[in-house]
């Protein structure tokens, strides 16, 4: 198949969307499919076998550290020359408008995938009045697509409640080999917690630093447990504010890590913390699972789904300090409980390779193509 993809964000940026997309492109290459990817300017000119077209980009105020692709006049020529079988718009918001336009113009089937719960973010930026408008906007975009893919069943249920239609599942995945093969490192442990003693514990966070991640709520636990050190891997618009919040605690901000370096950070910590309640999935949870790192996560529907309602990780109430502190203590110091959680997490991780989600995606593609051949009665080359 020949697939034209439109993505709002891509390399050199890093987040769960980029991780998923990179893994998908590699597996699509292995399966012999061709991809034309429209991504923000600054991306590499190719990835796996995909040709990457950089398009003008801008910075959105909710994500000031990232560049987002925007509508561009050069799409038509590229699409006409590539002759795709259909279009896939990933997390449509800005450039996704162009994906919708050209799918209609060239009579191509359209797939959309929903990765970021932007309407829920409005509350964290004190923009509650904006949330209904954001739901309307994203619902309107996704209603133009024949298939709308969700990364978790919990997200699918939420989108159903908000009137989204034609929903399908594009499930979890992780580079199991990378994370399961990493080994603890004294040097990495020293980097994550320079002042840690031999019996101290290191709690790891990996992700974007923004207000919706609820990282501030972890400070009371550090105050009550001075032998616990927090290592925050990542960056974002809220970093300076968080550095002030955690001043005086055993907290280290490392910036972003990638690849083997990140895998070693997982392997060298004692526990993983995921305080966000606004995620659609949380791919870092699967990275921690594959690394054999016990998890504590704030209660939300996607987290309950991923952690099997507490069987594969501890779940705490993000609004209850006592719940968070008790969970932190159990995660880091209850060896029997840690062993039980790790066993279930490792069982789950064995089936998390990206080949499975890619096959699931291909199934959606094949079904859409089979059902939508009549849409292509007008050849792309003849379109004006």
- Whether 225 shows a pLDDT value over 60: the answer reads yes
In eight-state DSSP terms, residue 313 is: S
Q: Within a 13 Å sphere around the CA of 295, how many CA atoms are in the beta-carbon half?
A: 33
62's CB contacts (< 8 A; 6+ apart) are 118, 121, 125
Which residue did the predictor score with more confidence, 8 or 61?
Answer: 8
CA angle centred on 207, ends 253 and 234, rounded to 5°: 35
Which residue did the predictor score with more confidence, 40 or 67?
Answer: 40
Confidence (pLDDT) at 127: 84
Q: In 3D, which of 333, 71, 342 has the Cα closest to residue 203?
A: 333
49's CB contacts (< 8 A; 6+ apart) are 25, 28, 29, 34, 35
CA distance 239 to 259: 22
CA distance 84 to 31: 16
Confidence (pLDDT) at 73: 80
CATH homologous superfamily of 176-349 equals: Glycogen Phosphorylase B; (3.40.50.2000)
SS3 state at 129: helix
Q: Which CATH number fits domain 2-173+354-382: 1.10.3470.10, 3.40.50.2000, 3.10.310.30, 3.30.160.60?
A: 3.40.50.2000
- Among 59-63, 126-130, 159-163, name the one with the lowest average pLDDT: 59-63
Which residue did the predictor score with more confidence, 175 or 69?
Answer: 175
Domain limits, CATH 3.40.50.2000, in the chain: 2-173+354-382, 176-349
Confidence (pLDDT) at 361: 97
C-alpha R_g of the chain = 21
Percentage above 70 pLDDT, the chain:
95
Confirm if 113 and 90 have CB atoms less than 8 A apart: yes
296 strand-pairing partners: 273, 314
Q: pLDDT tens digits, residue range 14-26?
A: 889 999 999 999 9
Which residue did the predictor score with more confidence, 120 or 244?
Answer: 244
Q: pLDDT tens digits, residue range 285-328?
A: 999 999 999 999 999 999 999 999 999 999 999 999 999 999 99
Which residue did the predictor score with more confidence, 85 or 383?
Answer: 85
CA torsion angle 133 63 361 359 (round to 10): -150
| pLDDT grade for 126, boundaries at 50, 70 and 90 | confident
98's CB contacts (< 8 A; 6+ apart) are 6, 38, 71, 72, 75
Q: In 3D, which of 355, 304, 335 has the Cα closest to residue 174?
A: 355
Confirm if 272 and 295 have CB atoms less than 8 A apart: yes
Q: Within a 13 Å sphere around the CA of 320, how many CA atoms are in the beta-carbon half?
A: 11
Q: Quick one: CA dihedral 48, 50, 55, 61, positive or negative?
A: negative
CB atoms near residue 200 (< 10 Å)? 17
- Whether 384 shows a pLDDT value over 60: the answer reads no
In eight-state DSSP terms, residue 256 is: -
Q: Torsions phi, psi of 231, nearest 5?
A: -110, 120
Q: What is the pTM of this model?
A: 0.89
| pLDDT grade for 371, boundaries at 50, 70 and 90 | confident
Average model confidence (pLDDT) across the chain = 92
Which residue did the predictor score with more confidence, 126 or 7?
Answer: 7
Q: In 3D, which of 172, 175, 133 has the Cα closest to residue 152?
A: 172
CA distance 75 to 79: 6
Most distant CA atoms of the chain, gap in Å? 70
């Amino acid at each position: 198949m020949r697939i034209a993809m439109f993505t709002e964000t891509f390399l050199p940026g890093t987040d769960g969307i980029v991780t998923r997309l990179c893994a998908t492109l590699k597996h699509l290459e292995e399966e012999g499919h061709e991809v034309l990817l429209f991504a923000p300017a600054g991306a590499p000119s190719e990835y796996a076998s995909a040709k990457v077209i950089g398009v003008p980009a801008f910075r959105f105020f909710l994500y000031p550290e990232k560049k987002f692709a925007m509508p561009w006049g050069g799409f038509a020529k590229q699409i006409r020359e590539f002759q795709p079988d259909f279009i896939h718009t990933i997390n449509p918001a800005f450039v996704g408008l162009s994906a919708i336009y050209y799918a209609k113009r060239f009579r191509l089937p359209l797939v959309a995938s929903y990765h970021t719960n932007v309407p829920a973010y409005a509350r964290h930026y004190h923009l509650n009045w904006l949330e209904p408008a954001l739901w309307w906007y994203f619902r309107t975009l996704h209603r133009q697509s024949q298939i709308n893919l969700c990364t978790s069943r919990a997200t699918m249920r939420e989108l159903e409640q908000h009137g989204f239609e034609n929903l399908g599942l594009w499930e979890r995945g992780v580079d199991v080999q990378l994370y399961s093969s990493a080994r603890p490192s004294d040097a990495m442990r020293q980097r994550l917690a320079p002042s840690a003693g031999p019996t101290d514990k290191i709690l790891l966070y990996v992700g974007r630093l923004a207000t919706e991640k609820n990282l501030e709520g972890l400070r009371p636990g550090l105050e009550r447990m001075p032998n616990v050190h927090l290592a925050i891997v990542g960056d974002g618009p809220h970093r300076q504010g968080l550095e002030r919040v955690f001043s005086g605690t055993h907290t280290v901000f490392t910036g972003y890590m990638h690849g083997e370096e990140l895998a070693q950070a997982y392997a060298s910590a004692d526990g993983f913390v995921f305080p966000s309640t606004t995620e659609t999935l949380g791919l870092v949870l699967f990275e921690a699972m594959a690394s054999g790192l016990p998890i504590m996560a704030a209660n939300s529907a996607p987290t309950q789904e991923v952690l099997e309602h507490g069987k594969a990780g501890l779940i705490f109430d993000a609004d209850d300090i006592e719940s968070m502190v008790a969970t932190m203590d159990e995660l880091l110091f209850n060896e029997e409980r840690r062993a039980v959680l790790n066993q279930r997490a490792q069982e789950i991780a064995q089936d998390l390779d990206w080949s499975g989600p890619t096959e699931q995606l291909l199934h959606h593609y094949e079904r859409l193509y089979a059902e939508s051949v009549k849409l292509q009665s007008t050849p792309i080359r003849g379109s004006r």
